[in-house]
Structure 1
Amino acid sequence: MSTWPMRTLRGLLCAVAAWVPSSAGADEFDVSKLSSNLDLASLSDADLAARSITVLRIGNVELTSGRIVASDPLVGPGRPALVRTVPPGDYPVTLYEAFGRIAAGSIRFAEGKPVRWELALIPGQDINALKGEEFFGYPVDAGLGCYMDADTYALIQEREKQVRAEKSSSDINYYDDVLAPELEANKDKYAMHRPVAGERGNVAIFWSGWGDGFYPVFWGLDAGGRPLVLFTDFGVTENADGRREPGGE
């Protein structure tokens, strides 16, 4: 089971104690105590601008199977896909910038404001197993987060083989040898990375807020339980507002 104490997150994720009884079911888990920023995914551009949030629309992520991986792309590209799936397709990825950092990221599957949010899980994770201030999320150790289809991992492995062959060496660094130029083109904030040219399957890569840590991912659902959005909060803002930094006066 992969969990992390909330104190490891900055701002609200550090300041709010999300105590959840171990007997609570998934429907009882109050995700609002993990994030006060979920409205970022639903506010208009004008409302976001008024809150000093910059919107970055970085393109569509190609989900060839509909099984989504949310992870650090350098440390955990082979992380298991989320349990909940979506229909295969190309879906827009939006980043929300505040205080010069990527505060959150989302994939939009359908229009509308979610009426319910739930913590995203991978196989083997059980909401009932959480204790005290624990929650599920993914670890970041390279300062980056990503969204991609589970099938795209095979393309990353293929790209690694290509680079090894080009360098005639087994010693490669995927960041230095592949990703760095793509990220630098966007001020190191994001890249829409295609591991193998001509092959469907890409990776939406983005700066993870203040860097390394452990970050929760949420599903925003409509009244019928259909996914409208997938949202990752990097703990940079509070209350979906970039006008005052968390903890500031």
Structure 2
Amino acid sequence: MRNRIMQAARLLLCAAAAHAPVSVAAAGWDVSKASSNFELVALGDTELSGRSIGVIHMGKVELTSGRIVAADPLAQPDRPALAKTVAPGEYPVTLYQAFGRIAAAGMRFAEGKPDHWELAVLPSQDPATLKDGEIFGYPVDAGVGCYMDADTLARIDERQAQVQAQKPDADINYYDDVLASDLDANKGHYALHRPVAGKKGNVAVFWSGWGDGFYPVFWGLDKDGRPLVLLTDFGVVKNADGRREPTGQ
């Protein structure tokens, strides 16, 4: 797709965007300083509503291999999968909304409140290498993030080829020619997109908070280190509370 020319380096290391402040201790990674929103996944819909946070249960993502890609699917669709994997299956995605924006996106693998959290990294990334004020995450250049299986890239390429065959002389743009209609059905905020009808492999696409930027992803783990949930924090709220908009946006 056309937007692939904007792909960032696969082992991107970047300071966090100004609207998503984090602090990394020089002596090591302190995940509690990277996000104050981990409580989102432990609260029920009613409790979240009391904090002015809306909940969108957008459906299940089909993980055919268990290798998860968290990325801007338009600017970087073939970003490497996260180092940690889960069992293949279908897992629900929940969006947390505040101030008219998607504040965070979670994918749930098992019930329960996480015992601890860790930064989700690519295979060659090590949080111990981070300097003060730096964080691993993914860049957004098209205003959206996603969760999908690494194998689903082949389905995206297949759909791209189908559209190109129908319009052989046109300059095909995946957003305009394919994805936009799915997003429009939900006011542009999210879509559970299936690139090829009748084939396994779909994509949970969602508006990335304030738009383009750089966003961290975290694993919520049980006491034995098994994944319970994956959370992308878009820096829209602090302390899992949408009643007061954070300053410095």
8 Å CA contact 1:48–1:54 kept in 2: the answer is yes
The answer for the alignment partner of 2:4 in structure 1 is none
**Structure 2 CA distance for aligned equivalents of residues 239 and 9 of structure 1:** 17
**Structure 2 CA distance for aligned equivalents of residues 235 and 142 of structure 1:** 17
Is 1:119 aligned to residue 119 of structure 2? Answer: yes
8 Å CA contact 1:102–1:189 kept in 2: the answer is yes
- Correspondent of 1:5 among 15, 22, 27: 15
8 Å CA contact 2:238–2:246 kept in 1: the answer is yes
Show the 5 A alignment for 1:1-249.
1-6=11-16, 8-10=17-19, 13-14=20-21, 16=22, 18-21=23-26, 24=28, 29-169=29-169, 171-247=171-247
Shift of 1:9: 3.6
8 Å CA contact 2:24–2:135 kept in 1: the answer is no
**Structure 1 CA distance for aligned equivalents of residues 167 and 57 of structure 2:** 34
**Structure 2 CA distance for aligned equivalents of residues 100 and 191 of structure 1:** 16
Helix, strand or coil at the partner of 1:95: strand
Equivalent position amino acid for 1:54 in 2: G
Helix, strand or coil at the partner of 1:164: helix
Helix, strand or coil at the partner of 2:122: coil
Equivalent position amino acid for 1:180 in 2: A
Helix, strand or coil at the partner of 1:157: helix
Shift of 1:128: 1.7
Shift of 1:169: 2.8
**Structure 1 CA distance for aligned equivalents of residues 227 and 107 of structure 2:** 10
8 Å CA contact 2:52–2:243 kept in 1: the answer is yes
8 Å CA contact 1:116–1:223 kept in 2: the answer is yes
Shift of 1:89: 0.2
> Normalization by structure 2: what TM-score?
0.93
Shift of 1:20: 2.3
**Structure 2 CA distance for aligned equivalents of residues 33 and 79 of structure 1:** 26
Shift of 1:32: 1.6
Helix, strand or coil at the partner of 2:242: coil
Gaps of 5+ in 1: none
**Structure 1 CA distance for aligned equivalents of residues 24 and 137 of structure 2:** 16
Equivalent position amino acid for 2:203 in 1: V
> Normalization by structure 1: what TM-score?
0.93
Aligned structure 1 segments of 4 or more residues deviating by more than 4 angstroms: none
**Structure 2 CA distance for aligned equivalents of residues 41 and 9 of structure 1:** 24
Equivalent position amino acid for 1:46 in 2: T
8 Å CA contact 1:9–1:214 kept in 2: the answer is no
**Structure 1 CA distance for aligned equivalents of residues 210 and 45 of structure 2:** 23
Helix, strand or coil at the partner of 1:105: strand
Shift of 1:127: 1.3
Equivalent position amino acid for 1:20 in 2: A
Shift of 1:148: 0.0
Q: Could you tell me the percent identity over the aligned residues?
A: 66
**Structure 1 CA distance for aligned equivalents of residues 231 and 95 of structure 2:** 10
Deviations 1:209-237 (A, max 9, x none): 00000000000000010000000000000
Shift of 1:170: 5.6
8 Å CA contact 2:143–2:211 kept in 1: the answer is yes
